[in-house]
Amino acid sequence: MLDSSLQQMGSALRSRKISSVELTQLYLDRIAALNPALNAYLTTDAKVSLAQARAADALLAGGNAQPLTGIPFAQKDIFCAKGWRTTCGSKMLENFVAPYDAHVIGQFNRAGAVNLGKTNMDEFAMGSSNETSHFGAVRNPWDKHAVPGGSSGGSACAVAARLCAAATGTDTGGSIRQPAALCGISGLKPTYGVVSRYGMIAFASSLDQAGPMARSAEDLASMLNVMAGFDERDSTSLQREKEDYARALAKPLNGLRIGLPKEFFAEGLSNDVAQTVEAAIAEYKKLGASVVEISLPNSRLAVPVYYVLAPAEASSNLSRFDGVRYGYRAPDYTDLTDMYEKSRAQGFGAEVKRRIMIGTYVLSHGYYDAYYLQAQKIRRLIAQDFAEAYKNCDVIMGPTSPSTAFKLGEKGDDPVQMYLSDIYTIAVNLAGLPGMSIPCGFGAANNGNPGMPVGLQIIGNYFDEARMLNVAHQYQLATDWHSRAPQA
Amino acid sequence: MTWEIVIGLEVHAQLSTNSKIFSGASTAFGAEPNTQADAVSIALPGVLPVLNKGAVERAIKFGLATGAAIAPRSVFARKNYFYPDLPKGYQISQFDLPVVGNGELTIHVPASGKTEAYEKTVRITRAHLEEDAGKSLHEDFHGMTGIDLNRAGTPLLEIVSEPDMCSAAEAVAYAKTLHTLVRWIGICDGNMQEGSFRCDVNVSVRKPGAPLGTRREIKNLNSFKFMQQAIDYEVQWQIDTIENGGKIHQATILFDPDTGATRAMRSKEDAHDYRYFPDPDLLPLDITPAMLEQVRATLPELPQAKQARYMNELGLSAYDASILTATREMADFFEAATNPSPALPLSGEGVITPPLTRGGREGFAGIEAKLCANWLLGEVSAQLNRDGLDMAQCPITPQQLGGMLQRISDGTISNSGAKEVFRTMWAEGGDADAIIGAKGLKQVSDSGAIEALVDGIIAANADKVAEYRRGKDKLFGFFVGLAMKASKGNANPAQLNEILKQKLAG
């Protein structure tokens, strides 16, 4: 059952081969056994999960089930879920119990899904290794000394270790795709505006986008069908006709034009990742696709542009965490300013403080034009690069991350090295395009360390999610990388 | 040594929407603290702003009413600073792209001791939408501060003028005209005590021809009287300071009504760097020509246009016209009262609302404008004053007043009868005709009845009649008094005079 697709689980539930309570209990038991070593979940609440499972069983028994009814999911701890502690990986919100449901949570609830718990993440989604979580790093289930990636590392780990049927993530600069790649699972960041941000704790509002993380493209499609849709509570949510993201899965890939950006296969990419990705491209050729070389000349500026814009927005978004109304407040202070300073100094971790300071700096009088405005201009150029590229190809492919999972602590002292692990994913957020990562093999084993998963990134044009899922699914029909599981 | 005064105003008008500018929470004044603070108002993690269209419509209305350009695209920006009553740590406002551009407002500066009344046009630089902050409550918390977020997110239109005013009188006239306008077009209730209309005044002085002096900003003036006092004090302080060899430093200052003095709140050195940037949670505000036209259609006739029409078409004096258009309520009352109520007999078919006329006797016509103006500015205003009511609370409806005026016009009641009708109407309500009937106030215009009455008086006062006929003309008044008394005051006075004169002549 743990290796079944969401569709298979759904039919098993509907045909009453297994009840949602049994399935939920199965996962809860696994979490109890494995989570202490993996640290994927920050909060579980068996009582609440099982109550949801019983409600789902009633729906299933009454023949009122939807495709995801009764299936247990993990939710990234960035989504407010009514009655659930919602920490965003921060000491600042260590004791914050959300009084309302995020849109994404509401959508899963309405679909009759079960919430297994809240998954660990980099603090306020700022990080690429999950090491910035106030609640300790998540371990990569393929190698417990390696990072799972970030910021949605807890979700990626939970999916890979079969601690949930699938999970949600959010992606501001690669936070779904990079951990998906490092943990050997599939993850999709939709076009900006496809999934409502309401109730998702903001990091960088113009880049943040929620998406599904699962074991296959087919599962991603089922989840996106539930997560996507217009929400009037988010002004940047897009008003579009409802679509079935699974509708094109079966389409053959004959005639598919794959663009390979030369900038993604240049210096900085490790050999084992390059070879694994090239093998995946070769597989696509076998499936009927053709390959064209493209150029994204401004993509080299994506990381610096991102580290101006994202911190700028974050510095403002995180101002509400001031110790006044909720969240952490320093125990001792002399006056108002002292209360602000101590609460924020003690409540935020180092990486969050670093980004607040960068963001405050680039928005300051006298620096705004040189940094923020300039970065916005380059952001448009980066989007134009993609628009130009899509004249000659249908999807763009390349590595998701320049290397496989690195060791815990390996990049801890060097933020720039850490930032570079998102070098291929960030441009996609800046352009607002949909991007995904699917497992395409394993890197080199060395020094007795196992070869770690490699992710293939697929970047689509705006609203091409159904096409991308088709491209990923056809590959997964022809290969079995996505069904490999780490040893428990 | 003469000094030139330079004044510009920033006015925060609270827009009269039922819900907040970025959420559905109520904006009603006076609720228990934090009962109108929803998830958005208290800035819970994850919540997002959604723009209230009603606030945008009101901003457009203001722009149209001041002849301003409405930006086809404007942008909301975040103004970042920390304060406990600012829950997000930033205020959503508009910065370099406001919704309303350059406009203007013509003001009427009343005569003062030295100068005659005059008109002046003040340029409006811009008007932009923004949200209000909450309130910090420093009393009742024993060394702590209470936070009430009911007001957080209330929609404001910040209206910024050019520094076009040269005296406290001009500044007050501008503020008053603006105050009338925002209420007139229905975008703000103008309640200054509740903070719905708050004025910040920038004041500087200079020698004629010299470049602009350094300004100081008097914050949060909530009455026109205080504005006048604060400016007068501040101007004198600045002149004294400079003449004593001092320098003016840019500062934000407060006016203390108890001492009548201004004092500095913070200097420019403590000024915040607000780190404005476009709010990524909100799309740019696009206003289509269709939306503009839709709003234009809801714009009422503006006070100045109405005033001109009352003078040109109704023949009212400039004074009457200006008072009648001082508030929307007064003008509406006037127009409703001068249009005969459908209940009155009309000479046409069915119910017709005739246009306002100068009065006279053109068909069934409206109530004479001048008669109505006299009553509104006379008895009605006096009674309202006495009872401490404003026009909206007037116990008499325009239809009731119009009904009474109709009966004055057609001679049914005398002026003294009208006053009694009015008093009764005010105290007890009821229509003029019913009151006239119940009180027997119908004027006696039947010459036979008046003759009989006069005959009786002549017969009963033979000695006085003889004296009168011998030349004691003064006695005429005595006979009028007796006759009026006998008619219980209802005799048509002109008719009575004529008949008396005739009969006494013998």
Q: What is the mean pLDDT of each run of 10 residues along chain A (488 residues)?
A: 95 97 98 98 98 98 96 98 98 98 98 98 97 97 96 98 98 98 98 98 98 98 98 96 97 98 93 97 98 96 97 98 97 95 98 97 95 97 98 98 94 82 95 98 85 97 98 98 91
E strand spans, B132-196:
135-137, 146-148, 155-161
Inform me whether the C-beta atom of residue A290 falls under 8 Å from chain B C-beta atoms. Answer: no
- Is A152 part of the annotated catalytic residue set? no
Inform me whether the C-beta atom of residue A235 falls under 8 Å from chain B C-beta atoms. Answer: yes
Lookup result for tokens 């300051």: A364
- The chain B residue lying nearest A372, using CA atoms, is B277
Minimal Cβ distance to B39: which of A100, A236, A360 = A100
Distance from CA of B347 to the nearest CA of A (A): 56
- Is A151 part of the annotated catalytic residue set? yes
What phi and psi values does residue B490 have, to the nearest 5 degrees?
-95, -5
pLDDT at position B362 = 38
Contact A363 B47 (CB under 8 A): no
Instruction: With beta carbons less than 8 A apart as the criterion, state whether A98 and A84 touch.
Output: yes
Q: What is the mean pLDDT of each run of 10 residues along chain B (506 residues)?
A: 93 97 94 95 98 98 97 97 96 96 94 88 98 91 89 98 97 96 95 95 95 94 94 96 94 92 75 92 97 95 91 90 90 85 38 41 57 93 92 91 88 85 92 87 77 86 88 87 82 83 82
Inform me whether the C-beta atom of residue A314 falls under 8 Å from chain B C-beta atoms. Answer: no
Of A152, A175, A222, A343, catalytic: A175
Give which of B20, B42, B47 to mutate to test A binding, by max A Cβ within 10 Å: B47
Q: Strand order in A453-460's β-sheet?
A: A41-44, A114-119, A72-76, A166-171, A209-214, A186-189, A435-442, A453-460, A395-399, A257-261, A290-294
Collapsing DSSP to helix, strand or coil, A140 comes out as strand
Say if strands B76-80 and B118-131 run parallel, antiparallel, or are unpaired: unpaired
Rounded-to-integer distance, Cα B64 and Cα B253, Å: 33
Tens of pLDDT along A345-371? Answer: 999 999 999 999 999 999 999 999 999
- The kind and range of the H/E element at B398 are helix B398-409
Sign of CA dihedral A344, A345, A349, A351: positive
Residue at A96: amino acid letter: F
Inform me whether the C-beta atom of residue A201 falls under 8 Å from chain B C-beta atoms. Answer: yes
Task: Measure Cα distances from B472 to B464, B475, B501 in Å.
Answer: 9, 6, 13
Distance from CA of B139 to the nearest CA of A (A): 16
For chain A, the domains span: 6-252, 301-373
pLDDT at position B304 = 87
Contact B275 A364 (CB under 8 A): yes
Q: How far is CA B330 from the centre of its chain?
A: 8
Q: Using alpha carbons only, what angle is made at residue B278 by residues B276 and B282, rounded to the nearest 5 degrees?
A: 135
Collapsing DSSP to helix, strand or coil, B38 comes out as coil
Collapsing DSSP to helix, strand or coil, B406 comes out as helix
pTM of the model: 0.89
Rounded-to-integer distance, Cα B494 and Cα B489, Å: 13
Residue B320 token pair: 């009457």
For chain B, the domains span: 4-272, 303-439, 447-505
- The chain B residue lying nearest A101, using CA atoms, is B46
Q: Is the peptide bond before A175 cis (omega within 30 degrees of 0)?
A: no
pLDDT at position B249 = 93
What phi and psi values does residue B476 have, to the nearest 5 degrees?
-55, -45
Minimal Cβ distance to B42: which of A312, A316, A325 = A325
- The chain A residue lying nearest B50, using CA atoms, is A235
Contacts of B398 (CB under 8 A, 6+ apart): B332, B333, B334, B335, B336, B337
Report ipTM (2 d.p.): 0.96
CB count in 10 Å sphere of residue B444: 17
* Residues of chain B contacting A377 with CB distance shorter than 8 Å: none
Residue B360 token pair: 């006279």
Rounded-to-integer distance, Cα B226 and Cα B157, Å: 22
Rounded-to-integer distance, Cα A342 and Cα A362, Å: 23
- Please classify residue B477 by burial: count the beta carbons closer than 10 Å to its beta carbon, then call 0-12 exposed, 13-18 middle and 19+ buried: exposed
Rounded-to-integer distance, Cα B63 and Cα B87, Å: 30
Minimal Cβ distance to B46: which of A80, A319, A340 = A80
Rounded-to-integer distance, Cα A486 and Cα A449, Å: 14
Instruction: With beta carbons less than 8 A apart as the criterion, state whether A218 and A473 touch.
Output: yes
Minimal Cβ distance to B283: which of A80, A235, A336 = A235
Collapsing DSSP to helix, strand or coil, A358 comes out as helix
SS3 letters across B269-296:
HHCCCCCCEECCCCCCEECCHHHHHHHH
Q: Mention the CATH class of domain B447-505.
A: mainly alpha
Instruction: With beta carbons less than 8 A apart as the criterion, state whether A174 and A426 touch.
Output: yes
Inform me whether the C-beta atom of residue A210 falls under 8 Å from chain B C-beta atoms. Answer: no
SS3 content of chain B, % helix, strand, coil (to 5): 40, 20, 40
* Residues of chain A contacting B42 with CB distance shorter than 8 Å: 325
- The kind and range of the H/E element at A25 are helix A20-38
Rounded-to-integer distance, Cα A78 and Cα A76, Å: 5
Name the CATH superfamily, with its identifier, for domain A6-252: Amidase signature (AS) domain (3.90.1300.10)
CB count in 10 Å sphere of residue A417: 13
Rounded-to-integer distance, Cα A386 and Cα A434, Å: 12
Contact A363 B49 (CB under 8 A): no
Which of B302, B289, B264 is CA-nearest to residue B178? Answer: B302
* Residues of chain A contacting B275 with CB distance shorter than 8 Å: 315-316, 360, 363-365, 368
Which of B417, B309, B305, B322 is CA-nearest to residue B376? Answer: B322
Instruction: With beta carbons less than 8 A apart as the criterion, state whether A314 and A126 touch.
Output: yes
- Is A222 part of the annotated catalytic residue set? no
Rounded-to-integer distance, Cα A294 and Cα A262, Å: 6
Of A19, A20, A49, A76, catalytic: A76
